Amino acid sequence: MSRVTAASRFGRVAVVYGGESVEREISLQSGHAVITAMRELDIDVSALEGIPALVKALAARKIDRIFNILHGGDGENGVVQGLAVAYDVPITGASVLGCALSMDKLRCKAVWQATDLPVASHRVVTADLSDADLLHDPGLPMVVKPVHEGSSVGVHIVKTEASLAQALSAAREFDSDIMAEVFVPGAEYTAAMVAGEILPLIRVETPHSFYDYSAKYQSDSTCYHCPCGLDAARERALQSVSSRAFAAVGIAGWGRLDFILDAQGEPVLLEINTAPGMTAHSLVPMAAAARGWDFKRLVWEILSTTVADAGRVDG
């Protein structure tokens, strides 16, 4: 259990949520859940909707630490983390660098490749790149996605030449930077990390073509398998790969890594979320439950990562 045993140790905690990204509605749900849990834990918590409210509270020196649950946008790209550093206030989640790298899928993949971690073959969609170029490399089927979005926003699987232009146009509605990568069929998994520990893996099964925004947050047909169905040795090996993936981009505190096991059973890393969902459909709370933690315990453990000498012990 956490070495933090008294709620008073956390001081005045601000939960920042909502924001202006396309993931705003999910962030509101996550924020409400976290705030409710903190109140039940007798933590001195204030609810701050959006970055302007956080800036005012920081300037007034009204908070001692931040629980960031802004999904996407400035909540995960290093902006909020930079504010916390500027005011010398501890914040949950990754560092400025870790967040910036994780939000930029291209640079995150480049770091993973440089450290011999497995990613799908991909390329940047530049203005001078023709559809014919993409049909040759990466070829069909391919995945078209915005570089700087999360929760599968703007992501499309392109299976036919006729659907390529529409997928590119849809992705550009969310980001000027677009990438295309080889589509890797296989089972989808997620690895949650809290305080350096990789929690039990979850296998995600959905009737959708992939684990898209609707499957993540709206569908009741998505199935989550935890235990994930792998033997213990294989799961430990994949947890080790996940740990390396987090460390490579400087992720500490907490986060979630998504990956696929290809036809040979080998992992292909997809992306890291540095402020994962904390809703009824969210994966980190599911993994925590398999670890033996209820939602309140999970919130406590995440918040404890902001206390310098509060490293966890087994329990």
Contact predicate 191/257, CB 8 Å: yes
- Residue tagged active-site, from 2, 17, 21, 23: 23
Q: How far is CA 71 from CA 81, 161, 193, in A?
A: 13, 33, 17
Six-digit token pair at 307? Answer: 């206390």
- Residue tagged active-site, from 256, 282, 301, 304: 256
Query: How does strand 187-194 pair with strand 156-158?
Result: unpaired
User: Is-catalytic flag, 258?
Assistant: yes
- Residue tagged active-site, from 95, 98, 217, 301: 217
Q: How far is residue 84's CA from residue 65's CA, in Å, rounded to a whole number?
A: 9
One-letter amino acid identity for 172? Answer: R
User: Is-catalytic flag, 175?
Assistant: no
Report CA torsion sign: 178, 183, 188, 193.
negative
Instruction: Return the HEC string of 257-302.
Output: EEEEECCCCCEEEEEEECCCCCCCCCHHHHHHHHHCCCHHHHHHHH
User: Is-catalytic flag, 277?
Assistant: yes
Contact predicate 95/122, CB 8 Å: no
User: Is-catalytic flag, 23?
Assistant: yes
User: Is-catalytic flag, 123?
Assistant: no
Contact predicate 301/293, CB 8 Å: yes
- Residue tagged active-site, from 27, 77, 95, 151: 151
Which segments within the chain are labelled E, that is strand? 12-17, 44-49, 65-68, 122-125, 142-146, 156-158, 178-182, 187-194, 197-198, 202-205, 223-225, 254-261, 267-273
- Residue tagged active-site, from 98, 277, 282, 304: 277
User: Is-catalytic flag, 121?
Assistant: no
User: Is-catalytic flag, 189?
Assistant: no
Radius of gyration, alpha carbons of the chain: 19
Active site residues: 23, 151, 217, 256, 258, 271, 273, 277
